[in-house]
Chain A
Amino acid sequence: MAGPAQAPLSRRRFLAAGAAAGAVATVGAGFGLGPFHRETPAAAGDSRGSEPFHGLHQAGIATAQQDRLLFAAYDLITTRAADVARLLAEWTDAAARMTDGLDAAPAAASSLAPPTDTGEATGLDPAHLTLTFGFGPGLFTKNGVDRYGLAGQRPAALADLPAFPRDALDPAHSDGDLCVQACSNDPQVAYHAVRNLTRIARGTAVLRWTQQGFGRTSSTTSGQVTPRNLMGFKDGTNNLRTDVAGFGEHVWVTAADGPPWMVGGSYLVARRIRIHIEVWDRSSLTDQEATIGRTKTEGAPLGGQRERDPIDLSAHHGGEPVIPVDAHIRLANQDANGIHILRRGYSFTDGIDPQTGQLDAGLFFLAYQRDPRRQFVPLQQRLAVDKLNEYIQHVGSALFAIPPGSPAPGQPIGAALFG
């Protein structure tokens, strides 16, 4: 219990002091750079700050992609729709507070009660924390049962994903009735958010699975440097940029799409993609570059010089296409096939596969889109012949409707669905 002699320390004041210290450290680091320096994925000055929570769209989609992820999928265990609505209202309040760098809830009035906030983010900057909530198919019908009277509200676009060739989906890493995507430049801040939301949910929803992501594998705005995935290649060079006009037509649900409660929302496909790291590491550079269709160091499309050179799919050399017919960028290229999605994925590593002793690591693929039936599904079907499949396997899969944002305090996420 705090006594009167204890010096008052507010989280925000603590932050101000920390920011000054951070600035000094950045200058120091600059002097330490050698002639060959690694690109810093995000400028140090960008790592602090807060994102607005309220808005037409939920944060964490068009937001410049943060460096760290904790994704959580939940099973609803209540039988009453009112409990779900109340949970969403409580989640909305807590998320707005935590996004702003506050505790999940106002402090308890008594020290005999457990603290309302778990405390591990005290003194930490929110580091651009965003919390994005989604509804899985199980909210509408589960095992054929319409638990909450919402079956009629299920969007047509929230159709179960078809089985794709080579899928090896583990139920322990798949599906979920609700989801939370927590992104921040500080992994402890993201963890704190999910932990407190999970605590709030106790009795209504339980964690089904979580996925941590330690490094972003996409850039979502023009200013961001293209990061590398665990294959060592730049990833997401041709991703949609949310600060470039026109991206919204690929991402946001419109009134014409419906249903009305989803307008301003989006759809999220999550795929846990295991990379067979050991096999990849013993492949020749030529094989690796032919698999991706880009050079490894620069990230230039084969036949080009620089990362952002145009991809020439028709170029031939010695009778063979310069970019092989089964190269990943030929099949996945968004300009060539006319399918655009907003990728927002992260690298993960989860220890070792107990069966083989190999690294359990890869890409946690997250993609936002307006209609998975017209975007992710045909795209993934094209990738059935991708040479990359020799090195990867989809081991987890989930699909969520991401409702529009909470426009103002007191208006919970999903209110239009439960209204």
Chain B
Amino acid sequence: MPKALVVLLAVPLALTACSSGGKTVSEEGKTAPPASQAAAAAPKTIEVNLTDDGCEPRNIAASAGPTTFKVTSAGGGVTEFEVLDGSTLLGEAEHVAPGKDGSFSLTLRPGSFTTLCPGGAKYDKGTLEVAAGPTAAATNAAQSKAAVDAYLVYVKGEADQLIAATAPFAAAVKAGDVARAKNLYAAARSHYEAIEPIAESFGDLDPAIDARAGDVALDQWGGFHRLEKALWADGNVTGMGPVADKLEADLVKLRQQINTVELEPAQIANGAVELLNEVSTSKITGEEDRYSHTDLSDFAANLAGSQAAFDALKPLLAGAQQALSDQLEQRFADVKAALDGHKGTDPTGNGFALYTTLTAEQTRALSTAVDTLAEPLSKVAAAVLV
């Protein structure tokens, strides 16, 4: 398949790491040269192998920019590879034989091109699809840094509010005031839900703060959902004082760790998608807040966090990716409008209806709206690749 064959050697290791982890902040990231400089300097390489049948890959996808075609042969009948724009020859490698590689370089611009491999037994023609590469704006390191800084301001603000809003909640738990604690639960944790992908990058902090029943051993279970169960399922918070104290301490630890975070724009983009994936897999199903049914409050927080990440990245999308940016703007608004259709007055719901009041049709409509937004959002990481 074409995608298995297109080898983009130029992508630096630091970015390879964040593409697989998405949310992790690698240690190497601190010492590696800024990805933007590395990517801008080195041309991409596409390997082409000549066989009796023709050229492999037959159909090539690439991104715009300086590109080297490295042409090799296993000894078949085809010895030549050409890239054409219509009938105009752009570049070629001739007389390629085993051990005698051919290479040529082109600066590819976006568009559809033809490849030729004269004498191919099965085919002598293929395609080269060149997508628009990273936008000029995105290659501006200063602009990238501004985007990251803007997002970190948001993250720190949410973390501060998380600590502030959890304090009265924890106090109510410790005072044994179940009703008051219930009313403060959703509002406190919403600040966590808004920045959850960041918290998840700190190893054991997320399980300590946000594990659900069954995620960890029962004797180690603490955090928001342990208190949720005590408040709603047990109706009794006796013995929960230490759990509340530990939660507050963990949130302080989280806030401190956030000061050390270094991010790439692509990671922020992936985090924005992850927040919507959270909605799709646990809020839409009512699993997240299975005792309190305050899932829509968490949904709203995930959405707000995703939107904040997108807002920070928006300047990087201006220009070549403006259409994507506009589409996302509209779809964020659509999801928000759909969610705002479920405002509620139950004091525990933090302004939203309880999950249990939704019909199957209503949850399906919300789910569809989220999918509709998340699909194009998943394209942002590549679009802001520097």
Contact = CB atoms under 8 A, between A and B. Distances in A.
B4 A6 contact: yes
B56 A10 contact: yes
B379 interface: yes
Given A102-B2, A109-B130, A112-B19, 18 more contacts: A1-B8, A2-B4, A6-B4, A6-B7, A10-B58, A11-B1, A77-B372, A106-B59, A106-B127, A109-B8, A109-B133, A109-B382, A110-B11, A110-B385, A114-B379, A115-B3, A116-B3, A202-B375
B7 A4 contact: yes
Interface string A364-404: 00000000000000000000000000000000000000000
Contact of A112 (B56, B127, B131, B382): B382
Interface string A93-122: 000000000110011111111111100001
A102 B61 CA distance: 13
A109 B63 contact: yes
Interface residues of B, number: 43
Contact of A109 (B1, B62, B127): B62
Given A4-B47, A110-B382, A203 B372 contact: yes
Contacts of A13: 53, 56
A8 B375 contact: no
Nearest to A6: B4
10 contacts: A1-B19, A8-B4, A9-B1, A102-B2, A103-B2, A106-B59, A109-B61, A109-B382, A113-B379, A203-B331
Nearest to B367: A206
Given A8-B49, A106-B2, A111 B16 contact: yes
B266 interface: yes
B378 to A, nearest CB: 5
A122 B1 CA distance: 7
B61 A107 contact: yes
Contacts of B372: 77, 202-203
B61 A206 contact: no
B238 interface: no
Nearest to B368: A206
A3 interface: yes
B19 A111 contact: yes
A113 B22 CA distance: 11
Contact of B15 (A6, A8, A112, A114): A112
B360 to A, nearest CB: 11
A103 B3 contact: yes
- Secondary structure at the A interface, as helix, strand, loop or mixed, is loop
A117 B1 CA distance: 10
B1 A10 contact: yes
Contact of A113 (B4, B133, B382): B382
Interface residues of A, number: 32
A110 to B, nearest CB: 4
B57 interface: yes
Interface of A: 1-4, 6, 8-13, 77, 102-103, 106-117, 122-123, 199, 202-203, 206
B58 A108 contact: no
B364 to A, nearest CB: 9
B61 A108 contact: yes
Which of A102, A110, A123 is the most central at the interface, judged by chain B CB atoms within 10 Å of its CB? A110
A102 B59 contact: yes
Contacts of A103: 1-3
Contacts of B376: 203
Contacts of A116: 3
A6 B122 CA distance: 24
Contacts of B159: none
Q: Which 10 A-B pairs have the closest CB atoms?
A: A109-B63, A107-B3, A113-B382, A106-B61, A110-B382, A107-B61, A106-B129, A202-B375, A203-B372, A112-B381
A103 B63 CA distance: 18
Nearest to A122: B1
Contacts of B331: 203
Contacts of A111: 8, 11, 16, 19
Interface string B1-34: 1111111110100011001000000000000000
A125 B327 CA distance: 36
Contacts of A10: 1, 5, 56-58
Contact of A199 (B19, B59, B375, B379): B375
A9 B378 CA distance: 27
A203 B326 CA distance: 14
B371 interface: yes
A247 to B, nearest CB: 34
B97 to A, nearest CB: 18
Given A8-B56, A77-B368, A122-B1, A107 B6 contact: yes
Contacts of B62: 109
B375 A1 contact: no
Contacts of B1: 9-11, 103, 107, 117, 122-123
A94 to B, nearest CB: 14
A204 to B, nearest CB: 9
Contact of A12 (B58, B61, B375): B58
Interface in B110-141: 122, 127, 129-131, 133
A8 B11 CA distance: 19
B129 A108 contact: no
Contacts of A202: 371-372, 375
A102 B129 CA distance: 14
Contacts of B371: 202, 206
A99 to B, nearest CB: 15
